[in-house]
Amino acid sequence: MLLAFGNFTADPSVNLQLLIGGLALGAIYAVVALGFVLVYKSTDVLNLAHGEFLMLGAYFALTFLVSENLNFFLGVFVLLLVMLVFGLLVHYGIMRRMVGQGFFAIVLITLGIATIIRALLLIFYGPTERARLDLLPQGSFEIGGATVRHVDLIIFAVVAGCVLLFFAFFKYTRLGLHMRAVADDIEAAAAMGIDPDKVYAMTWAAAMVMAGLGGLLFGHVTGAIDRSIEAIGLRAFPAAVVGGLTSLGGSIVGGLVVGVIEQFANGHLGTKWREPVAFSVMFLVLLVRPTGLWGRKDLERV
């Protein structure tokens, strides 16, 4: 009986498919986790609206690339530009006023932003789901009886490129160094002539550009574009925490680990186990290493 225990027999090709599917899902989680990490690392804000930001990116991609039928590269440029502007607005309009406020107050603000985005998308786009994007190569090939989609490989490449870019940005650029300095000690950085306000604005803009890119990529692999895709934010949260909320590389590893674990839980235990298992892994990691696998523990001088 096929469903006698779990969902599968021990067919190796099925497990390989779960592994490949898990890595593909994990790459998306990594994109989202990068957004979490970028904001947290630079501003100490746990941005729970990041899933909605990504959803906004997916809907804008739909508008510019499908409805308006812009040239792909022009459309992506416009998408990222709009997201950048939106990031600046989030900072100058809202988050700037929250600097110095309590951690939970700021988290609640991000939840409020998430609610507003969901409502605006419902108002402007309506409740009906849309077909996913198909602008990137849609083909696939087989390895050991498992299907590998071209688009998944593209996502891997983009994620890897983003990580390298961020590493270089934080290490070699003036703005990147300013961001690290502000994250380390805002008062010392300000005393050295760094304007934390500008640094924060750039951080939100960069995070929003990442969300736009994530939305564009996720819009190619999700089954449909609708308002349920914001859940990717919550589902990628364990990935960011497992990797360490301050580690860019950790977010990648965390994303891949959580993606694979989710797929195997889904495949062998059933869909209801998928998120409990992912969050259990997060709890375990936090119990053993409260900063996540690659997170940094801040020293407090007393």
Partner 1 sequence: MTGRWLKALAALFAFALIAAACGNDDDDGGAAPAPAEEQTPAAEQEAPAPAPAEEEDAEDAMEMQDGDTEGDAMDMMVPDNPDNGVTSDSIKVGWMGDLTGPTASSQSFNSHGIEAYFECANEAGGILGRMIEYLPEDDQFSAETAAINFTKLTEDDKVIALLGLGGSHISTQLQPDVEALNLPVIGPPQTIDVQLEGDQYFNNLAHYGDQADLATGQIAADVGGIQNAVVMGISLEVPSGTEFAAYVEQSVNRAGGTYLGTQYVAPGATEVIAQMAALQEGIDNDGVNYVTLHGSPGAGLVVMQGMADAGITDIPIIGIHGIAANSIWTEGPEEISDQTFGMHSFLTANNNIEASAEMERCASLAGYGGEHLNLNFAHGFLNGYVFHQAVERAAETGELSRESLTEALKGTFDTMGITCPIDWSSGPHSQCGAAFSLDPGTGGMVPANPFSFYADTFDGEYGLEIS
Q: How far apart are CA 302 and CA 298, in angstroms?
A: 13
Please, which residue, 44 or 129, has the CB nearer to partner 1? Answer: 129
Residue 275: partners with Cβ closer than 8 Å, 6 or more residues away = 235, 262
Q: Are 170 and 5 contacting, i.e. CB atoms less than 8 angstroms apart?
A: no
Please, which residue, 179 or 205, has the CB nearer to partner 1? Answer: 205
Please, which residue, 206 or 248, has the CB nearer to partner 1? Answer: 206
Count of CB atoms situated within 10 Å of the CB of 178: 20
Q: Least CB distance from residue 184 to partner 1, whole Å?
A: 26
Q: Are 208 and 89 contacting, i.e. CB atoms less than 8 angstroms apart?
A: no
Q: DSSP letter string over 8-57?
A: ----HHHHHHHHHHHHHHHHHHHHHHHHHHHHHHHH----TTHHHHHHHH
Q: Least CB distance from residue 203 to partner 1, whole Å?
A: 16
Q: Least CB distance from residue 233 to partner 1, whole Å?
A: 12
Q: Least CB distance from residue 85 to partner 1, whole Å?
A: 5
Q: Least CB distance from residue 301 to partner 1, whole Å?
A: 35
Q: How far apart are CA 164 and CA 173, in angstroms?
A: 13
Contact footprint for partner 1 (CB under 8 A): 1-3, 7-9, 11, 14, 17-18, 21-22, 24-25, 59-60, 62-64, 67-68, 82, 85-86, 88-89, 92-93, 120, 122, 124-132, 140, 147, 149, 218, 221-224, 226-229, 231-232, 263, 266-267, 270-272, 274-275
